[in-house]
A and B are shown apart, each in its own frame.
Chain A
Amino acid sequence: MSDSDADVLEMLETLSRSSGLPGHESGVSGVVADALRALCDEVRLDRLGNCIGLRRGEGEEPRPRVMFAAHMDEVGLIVTKIEEGGFLRFSSMGGVDPRILPGSEVRVLGSGASLAGIVGVKPPHIIHEDDTSEAIKADDMYIDTGLTEEEVRRRVRVGDVVSLNSTFARLGGLVSGKSLDDRAGVAVLVDCARRLGRMRHEADVFLVATIQEETGLRGAMVSTYGIAPDVGIAVDVTHGDMPGVPEHDTARLGKGPAIATGPNVHPAVFARLKRVAEDNSIPFQVEVCPESTGTDAWAMQVTKSGVATGVISVPVRYMHTSVEVAALDDVRHAGRLSAHFAASVDRGFSEGLRCY
């Protein structure tokens, strides 16, 4: 493993272990800001918590502006009610499938120290026979922290967020953990910034770890408004190959990042991303998105008078679970692709985007 691979792995592990539910990203934004600070000319947090790093280009002003967005929020749960006995009722925040929850470990993130908990359900012995074929509904589950009701009421408040338990691990050439959606993308941004430090680029490059993608692309909306880029690239995850899912609906792990095409992507940006990959021998796959890409690019595209968008995706299996799986190589190649793309943007390219 090269130094650069080790850096990517370490960053990804740190990011995956950090917590940052939608609207509550401060636990992870500090990690991102620290990582970007050494690699950027300036780093700031905006009013809603987006972390924005800027690497100024070498070109004459006004320079083209390229924005990369990877969201740093993660899916999880939120406490809706404290029941008698101190059991916590919850609902999903950002799209956790309740069927994956029974028996899982979670962390309740209140204002003080976090609390360990498990998602409890009735054991099979006492479930009525008629109900055993049905998936357990979220309303029938609860979080058990093992604490007395009195202690729970002192330490937990309705509205406290709950993260899935972090279980980062290496699985051969793959990694597994929570929140690879989209901390893999954030790791790509950091890797991109590191690589750009060794390259020359004409454009101003904005590396934005966005908030609240999972609840409605809200961080991308406001950060894109402030930056007003010529080109906006969302770096996110896409569904990886797994048994029982058709090949044409997935991207293969380890075969390089997916480059999206469809109405959410500007054709010239798509063509440039492919060309950059080919010129630099970066493996890639093409992902077809007939409508929204389901990424920050959907919001970026219609900001102000419009932004030319592209999407680079890292294939990830088991999305929105605590055992998301990705290939380290794909993350690294996505970093290379991002950096070479950013370095390829000159004024001619950005002006050409406005009249195709």
Chain B
Amino acid sequence: MKETIRTLVEAYGPSGNEERVREIIMGMVREMCDSVRVDTLGNLIAFRRASRPATGRPAPTKIMLAAHMDEIGIIVTHIDEKGFMRFSNVGYVDPFTALGQRVVFGNERAGVIWMEKLEKMKDLRLDKMFVDVGQGAAGDGSGVSVGDVAAFDRKMTEMGNRLTAKAMDDRIGCAILVETLRRLRESPNDLYFVFTVQEELGARGAVTSAFGICPDVGIAVDVTPTGDTPKAAISDVSLGKGAAIKVKDSYLVAHPAVRNLLVSAAESAGIPFQMEVLERGGTDAGPIHTTREGVPSGVISVPTRYIHTPCETVDLGDVEACVRLLEKVLSNEVSV
């Protein structure tokens, strides 16, 4: 599992550039599914058919599970005569976090981010910053052009039972779906494991994949911030206290039936869990639940510190709890 996470978080895949991540996941899941397809936007949809006919209903319940493949990044908007590159953000990138970071482009060229001289540090904005890819003058062969996209460059590191890396948001969710597929022997539900694109730009992959699948139930697996660091915003979610079950965020009030399904599965299997109320932010479950005539939806969240930085940190025990919870929920017949 740890190596799956490493492979996924170290891969390059800012929003709209998810191809490499998709190839990796495709290789991991192909043999474990009845069918695997890529839709027009680039979502990877892995289908596992129900192991037996439904009881008391015409067809098995269709469950859509979603984790997004994309990560935040930067996009080059202008290159000056000395080769310094101005950039904009792809997804939310905090200027203070980006300052002094090493990034890597799709062609594997590295770059570093720095800033103009500022009178006051609080004036730091992305448009006062630039990327230096090490070229002396424009066109000396960096291969980086206007419109090219870079991601943070960071290897995964272990800190005791915790892992820190870029792109835990949301490759950890992808890893949890992959691991669930590995462990899940049978399910009486039709399962769509969807690895989505462009979540960081407004959960856009989930919009189209949910419309196409038209599921009965939606469950997203994504990260959520914690309130357990010094003087953090008030939140009851802590690292190491188990899977977080979402109650609400900006784009979803979890359907009470789905939330209760997750809570009772965790309680009956003795899986540690915590309830999550998030004031700002959203996941793929937002657009999934407003698809067509409505899809009851919920979220399993991985408690994560320092989200949208190159040192997003998760607890392996929490990750394990998320996998066990998902496996437990899917192995029973779901009716909502």
CB within 8 Å of B: which residues of A?
22-24, 26, 46-48, 50, 78-82, 89, 91, 93, 139, 157-159, 212, 215-216, 218, 221-223, 225-226
Contacts and interface: CB of A to CB of B under 8 A. Distances in A.
Ranked 9 nearest A-B pairs via Cβ: A23-B253, A159-B247, A222-B294, A48-B294, A226-B293, A158-B275, A159-B275, A81-B236, A158-B236
Nearest to B216: A47
A111 to B, nearest CB: 9
Contact of A221 (B235, B251, B259, B290): B290
B296 interface: yes
Nearest to A79: B277
B253 A24 contact: yes
B289 interface: yes
11 contacts: A23-B256, A46-B293, A47-B294, A48-B296, A78-B248, A81-B234, A81-B236, A158-B247, A218-B289, A218-B290, A226-B294
Contact of A23 (B248, B276, B295): B248
A93 B248 contact: yes
A222 B289 CA distance: 9
B334 to A, nearest CB: 13
Interface in B19-34: none
B290 A23 contact: no
A158 B336 CA distance: 22
A78 B256 CA distance: 14
Contacts of A82: 236
Contacts of A48: 255, 289, 294, 296
Interface string B284-298: 000001111111100
B254 interface: yes
Greatest chain A CB density within 10 A among B234, B276, B293 is at B293
B293 A80 contact: no
Interface in B231-268: 234-236, 247-248, 251, 253-256, 259
A81 B276 CA distance: 9
Greatest chain A CB density within 10 A among B253, B291, B296 is at B253
If over half of B's interface residues share one DSSP class (helix, strand or loop), that class is named, otherwise mixed; here it is loop
Given A24-B253, A218-B289, A47 B295 contact: yes
If over half of A's interface residues share one DSSP class (helix, strand or loop), that class is named, otherwise mixed; here it is mixed
Contacts of A158: 236, 247, 274-277
B158 interface: no
B293 A23 contact: no
A215 B279 contact: no
Given A47-B336, A222-B291, 7 more contacts: A47-B293, A48-B296, A80-B277, A82-B236, A139-B234, A158-B277, A215-B253
B254 A23 contact: yes
Nearest to B291: A222
B227 interface: yes
Nearest to A161: B247
Nearest to A227: B293
A139 B293 CA distance: 37
A235 B35 CA distance: 46
Greatest chain A CB density within 10 A among B227, B279, B295, B296 is at B279
A223 to B, nearest CB: 8
A46 B294 contact: yes
B275 A157 contact: yes
A50 B296 CA distance: 12
B35 to A, nearest CB: 26
B236 A23 contact: no
B255 A159 contact: no
A158 to B, nearest CB: 4
Nearest to B277: A80
Greatest chain A CB density within 10 A among B256, B276, B277, B291 is at B277
A81 B236 CA distance: 5
Contacts of A81: 227, 234-236
Nearest to B217: A47
Given A24-B256, A78-B247, A81-B236, A159 B277 contact: yes
A23 B255 contact: yes
A55 B234 CA distance: 48
Contacts of B234: 80-81, 89, 139
A344 B247 CA distance: 43
Contacts of B247: 78, 158-159
B279 A91 contact: yes
Contacts of A24: 253, 256
A23 B276 CA distance: 15
Contacts of A225: 292-294
A158 B254 CA distance: 14
Contacts of A93: 248, 253
B139 to A, nearest CB: 46
